[in-house]
Chain A
Amino acid sequence: MRILLTLLVKEFKQIFRNKVMIPIIFVVPVVQMILLTYAASLEMKGIKMVVVDQDLSQASRLLVSGFSASPFFEIVHSTTSYPEAESRLTGDRADVILHIEHQFEKRLYAEQETDLQLVVNAINTTEAGLINAYCTQIVGEFNTQIRSEWFSLDASLRMSSLDLKPSFWYNPLLDYKIYMFSGILVILVTLIGMLLTALNLVREKEMGTTEQINVTPIRKYQFIMAKLIPFWVIALFELAFGLLVGRLLYDLPMVGSLGLLFLFACVYIVVVLGIGLFLSTISNTQQQLMFVAFFFMITFILMSGVFTPTDSMPQWAQKINLLNPAAYFMRVIRMILLKGSEFRDISREFFSLLVYAVLILILAVTNYRKTT
């Protein structure tokens, strides 16, 4: 125990003597939390639309006004020539073309139906999907309005139309910032914890001081614990700091128990740091380590469900995700913060990670070689 204490004193002194450490702990997270939360938005504003109105009727104007009134759309150009609009789309100066053909109003009135063309730039599929959804909504509103104005006599028709009023649980205003922020917090804790721990051990290997340590009677578990504990404390602090920033900047809801969140984080961070230490036992230089660690980290983060729900991944990907600690924490942090989940709701994730933590630590300790 005294030996471990001696080593911990050494590690803490070295960490805080390192001049880049304080910025990494304080500045990087704040920048990341502010920048990424806004940048990683799934909400779209200012979609550039070109209107090709070849009808120039009352009905077509009403439809176009629906788009211009929407905060999501910005009508960048109006024309009567379709080829001109298309050249804007191909020239990347527009995201979507709304094409209203000649006799739009007339046909709508006479035949009660007509065609409307929407051309969407679908290079970014998520974006295209969203544009389509927004457009459908506006056209739907136009439809209801036309019906009630033109055919208002037929009251029964109005009555029978379905009026869907969704109620969004756990995030009533669909504030993407709250959703993204909790995810980014997970990425942050993972990134800082795993990288700092792994780099620290490999750096000692590079400097040759591990050789001096290996020739002493220090036990392997003591050495590994001394490398783990400081960064475990730092990562937990980072989580607390991040939650505070979230509270202040985004009014991040904290419906569930923070104690439960930290209990879970305690185990999660051991897993992440354990993986970092394991990677550092198989790398000899910081460069090697960075390559390996980046591979793991990017895979973990992209598959964690930060952007896309893990449930919609293919079955095999979901199986792989059982080994992805970030996927567990991503789910649990949102469950606790937004939904107020209790221990019994997250117990499966909790115990899975606990087993994971024990296994990865055993792996890291046994794989650390005092003798080669």
Chain B
Amino acid sequence: MLKDFTKGFVKENPVFVLALGLCPALGVTSKVVNALGMGAGVIFVLLGSNIFVSVLKNFIPEKVRIPAYIVIIASFVTIVEMVMEAFVPALFESLGVFVPLIVVNCVILGRAEAFANKNSVKSSILDALGMGIGFTFALLIIAFIREVLGSGTISLIPIGTWDGIVSIPGLSKSPARVFSLAAGALLVMGYLKALFNWAELKKAGAKK
């Protein structure tokens, strides 16, 4: 049971191992705060959709299961979108088009199809949380590397008078800007994926 929760962190990490949800993972990771916002949105939608898909798994007819899942996912995404625009408009503006695109984030449909429609509600909740946290964790690593190298800053959530931006002396004046652009996202993603593969191979080798 615990495995349902922890497998998403490293062993079946949705971004680095399953290679799901790469589009938002590359798109929003130019700032750490965007990764946090996207992660929170995905965890919420994933939790909601996994619960409903699991509860309704005997009700939803096999033939129309994909449209049914999409309706459920799209509803949760629209809720996230409305709530975000109403309560955290700054985050909503910086995430832009990526919020509605959570609908087609394959992590979510993937988990509904591969896990929630075969397992109990309890396992599905754990799976959603684990996968969601794994996704957020992956986004945070990419965003951290890209923002530190590409802009020389780390932007977190603004609290009170503090604007939430930590600048790194030396780096913030002349950063390697390529990391904040799309090409940098692919570079970082490639190296991290290689690192995960290497760790996996080493582990397999040790077992032999």
> Are both chains from one complex?
no
Q: Show the binding face of B for A, using Cβ within 8 Å.
A: none
Q: Show the binding face of A for B, using Cβ within 8 Å.
A: none
